[in-house]
Structure 1
Amino acid sequence: MTAWRIRDIHTDDLDGILHLYEQLRASGIAPVYALAEVLTSASEDVAVVATSQDGQIIGACVARVAHNQAWVIFHAVVGERRSQGIGSQMLRAVEQRLAAYGPNVLSALVPAEEIPTKAFQNAGYTEKKQLRYFERRVPVQRAEATHLAELGGRILPRDLWDAVGGMRREKEILEKRLVMPLAEPELAEQYGVAPPRAVVLFGPPGTGKTTFAKAIASRLEWAFVEVFPSRLAADPKGLAGALRDTFQEIDKLEHAVVLIDEVEEIASHRRGDPPSPLQGVTNELLKIIPAFRDRPDRLLVCATNFIRSLDSAFLRHGRFDYVIPIGLPDADARAAIWERFVPAASARQVDVDALVEASEGFTPADIEFAARRASQAALEAAMDRGTPAEGAAPGGPTTSDYLEAIGSTRATVSPAVVAEFLEDIESIARL
């Protein structure tokens, strides 16, 4: 008689599987499937456990069926029992139970560090050579996606970070201070770095603060939720109540980047006696931020065009980890923006370097306006000239069309605003 037996899993065996899972991890072996997946399949699919004579769980095997293929997603035996044939017996027991589902193939993925693969060989499994395993985690599960949609949030395309051309200094700061600690929390903890929970992005209007917030969410593959104070103001509970309820709903998301744009609308200097309704909103926001910071895997981004107007208590240490300036696009960024708007048919006949130089001091929105203005003017001129003769050079806006449009476009940000921004970097920025 063996000193162990194999039986179907019971509900109260899940703690034993959890213990086996943690034992594997403690021994340096990372299970292929997440613990939540293993426990779910143990409860809903096919699973057996091996128990010692005193009833202790000493092994477990969990499998599930997908179409006509079955997958062993967890297989473990306590260390001192691995040479007793328990592993192969559990595999045979699972195969018997899977027969009712009619799979054509039984498959298993095991960690590269796994040593006792002999159990699979003894159970008739063949190791496939020269195979590579690819995996991608879905950022938001179905139930959470519904909740995210109700908040007006979304998962952004994965390439937004790379789409932000130029702005190397800003991207480097955001990458090192925000993205890396949030994406690699264990590495950050190893070096004593606390992942950021809240930041302020400030700079002149139209410099891309919202774009950067979206790019951060894209880079992390976290849900992106933008909070619009102007929309919340119409709520019957009032702006303060609606703001509190919105953040309570956001708290249900597993990962999230939350943007409050033009935050100066609800966090400006508090003054006046008696207090105004807006002061109540500011007070509510000041209460929300510490509670928000208590939860991991989320980042609050407050963006403002007028950082000098923010309440002093709002910016103090402990509420925001960083106060980061986002300035006008540099030459590389302007080149990337121009290349986005110059039609492919005109690319060879347009001197982008000349456009970059001429548009210094422009915001991305200014460049887009000038580009569209040049394209429209070129189209109208072509229509006035009539149908081009056969064999004529391809049409489209030229360098002169763009330079003329640049010359007639008023820059959004004045030199005075730029000067104030540079002063704010010296006195307010916190990097």
Structure 2
Amino acid sequence: MNWLIHDYREDDLASVVHLIDSTAELGQESVFSLAECIGALTSRQPAVVAISGGVPIGAALATVSGTRAWVMRIAIVPGLRGQGLASALLKELERRLVGAGVRTIAYVLPEEELLGEGLHNAGYDRRPAVAYFEKSPARGTTRGRLEELGGRLLDNDLWAAVAGMEQEKHLIEARVVRPLAEPERAARHGVLPPRAITLFGPPGTGKTTFARAIASRLGWPFVELLPSRLADEGNLAAALRAAFAGIAELERVLVFIDEVEEIAAERGSAERPGMHGVTNELLKLIPGFREGEERLLVCATNSIRSLDPAFLRPGRFDYLLPIGTPDAVAREAIWSRFTVTRTDVDVRRLVEASELFTPADMEHVARTAAQAAFERDRSGGENGSVGATTEDYLAALALAKPTVTQGMLEDFRADITRHARI
């Protein structure tokens, strides 16, 4: 039987309650009462409903407390038990929970456990015991593999912590995050969730930060493959094969390759002799990686024009997204975050003085200014004021050299015209 699973809606309440109530005595018990389940539904706790022929045939619901979620009930019509619907419902519910920042998913079921005759004779009454099940998104047999690859789950607030760069955030949220977080909604509109993207732009513009933030936003494990570390193993092509073989064992994962030009340079390039086989190997590995439903490959490069043309084809990468230096609005947001403890700093002057500065450049300037305030305080010259002043920031800006030059910016604009796919 075919079914479609969607988020719980208010008009699903009556049918879902009927499913829960009518299946309670059919081996689909729960430690949560019907009233508690109704309360969770009406308070918009995460829930999904399976529909076939316009009729609800299954539902799964949970309640969330902090970074932990409790699966309250999975109810399906009796005739469909054993056909994979329960697993499908649980998988879709887990997607919502992970997207909401949940790090541990728990399931408590009532389970009969025979008590000893001695306890019965001693006056104990037989009661249902409790079976407690717990899951982490990076769980079971995949956890060891994740650790071997150097992967980890990141803090769930990294997306919100990306200051400024709102245009880039909006684009990545729309093209990448939402289709991956809501694949069934995307499928209804014919949107295919991306499997691989490339972020390109000048150095220091935050490509790594965005990759980490995407993993945080999705709640997926983050694995970074470092070309230099892979090369240390001797045979770079073989090291790539081994790494991707390990990644294939993970349930869900975001794989990040920074400076991907180190392993995907244009074949035949005089600047990178001997890399033809490595580029070929990566080109062969990407299609297999794309077969996984909950995988995303994010590559980053400062020089998209040096990549092999076959590497950038739509069949391998869904989007080629430019990440440039922050504009005035983004710089204002970044400076406002750095100066939040001192309201008398003239952020407008800092914005004007920091054109072409990357977020990394601005962070360095903020650290230098803070150090100046710290040294002044130690020498007794702070006069009760705490934190760097406008003059501290401007002095640090005057000494700093922006990473991005005007020539690099012009090249980046040309690369957007020639390569960007958004």
Give the structure-2-normalised TM-score.
0.70
Q: CA deviation at 1:75?
A: 8.1
The within-5 A match list for 1:123-162 is 138-162=136-160
* Alpha-carbon shift at residue 329 of structure 1 (Å): 1.7
Alignment partners' CA distance in 2, 1:422 and 1:334: 19
The offset of 1:305, in angstroms, is: 0.1
Superposed CA offset, 1:277-315 (max 9, x none): 311111100101111112211111110000111111111
Shift of 1:348: 2.1
Q: In the TM superposition, what is the alpha-carbon distance from 1:377 to its structure 2 partner?
A: 2.0
Task: Please say if residues 112 and 128 of structure 2, whose CA atoms lie closer than 8 Å, have aligned partners that are also in contact.
Answer: no
* 8 Å contact from structure 2 (residues 197, 317) kept in 1: yes
* TM-fit CA distance, 1:334: 2.3
Q: CA 1:426–1:342 in 2, change beyond 3 Å: closer, same or farther?
A: same
Distance 1:352 1:328 in 2: 18
Residue of structure 1 aligned with 2:391, choices 394, 400, 407: 400
Taking a change above 3 Å as real, the CA distance of residues 343 and 263 of structure 1, as seen in their structure-2 partners, is same
Q: Which of these residues, 50, 58, 62, is aligned with residue 30 of structure 1?
A: 58
SS at match of 1:361: coil
Of 258-267 and 24-33, the range deviating more from structure 2 = 24-33
User: Which amino acid is 2:239 matched to?
Assistant: A
Q: Distance in 2 between matches of 1:30 and 1:352?
A: 55
Tell me the residue number matched to 2:378. 383
| Contact map agreement 1:257 1:298 (CA 8 A) in 2 | yes
Q: Describe the SS at the equivalent of 2:320.
A: strand
Letter in 2 for 1:419: E
Larger Rg: 1
Aligned: 1:212 with 2:217: no
Residue 222 of structure 1: aligned partner? 220
Q: Match of 1:46? A: none
TM-score using structure 1 length: 0.68
**Residue 405 (structure 2) aligned to one of 385, 404, 414:** 414
Using a 3 Å threshold, how does the CA distance of structure 1 residues 76 and 199 change in structure 2: closer, same or farther? closer
Range with bigger deviation, 375-384 or 323-332: 375-384
Q: Report the Cα offset of residue 266 of structure 1.
A: 1.1
In structure 2, what is the Cα distance between the partners aligned to 1:256 and 1:291?
14
Partner Cα distance (1:7, 1:395) in 2: 66
Query: Alignment partner for residue 326 of structure 1, among 323, 327, 335?
Result: 323
Cα RMSD for the two superposed structures: 3.3
Contact 1:72–1:106 (CA under 8 A) maintained in structure 2: no
Task: Give the letter aligned to residue 176 of structure 1.
Answer: A
SS at match of 1:30: strand
Length, aligned pairs only: 327
Distance (whole Å) between structure 2 residues aligned to residue 223 and residue 229 of structure 1:
19
> 1:369 maps to what in 2?
364
Percent sequence identity over aligned pairs: 51
Counterpart of 2:189 in structure 1 is 191
CA drift at 1:99: 6.2
Per-residue CA deviation, residues 212-253 of structure 1 (Å, 9 max, x unaligned), is 1111111111111110010011114x0000001000100111
Paired letter, 2:243: T
Change (3 A) 1:360 1:137: farther
Q: Distance in 2 between matches of 1:253 and 1:25?
A: 29
Query: SS at 2:223's partner residue?
Result: strand
The residue matched to 2:296 in structure 1 has which SS?
A: strand
Q: Specify the code of the residue in structure 2 equivalent to 1:201.
A: L
Q: Aligned residue for 2:120?
A: none
Take 1:169 and 1:137, find their aligned partners in 2: how far apart are those partners?
36
C-alpha spacing 1:424/1:76, structure 2 compared with 1 (3 Å): closer
Gaps of 5+ in 2: 1-24, 28-48, 63-71, 81-108, 117-124
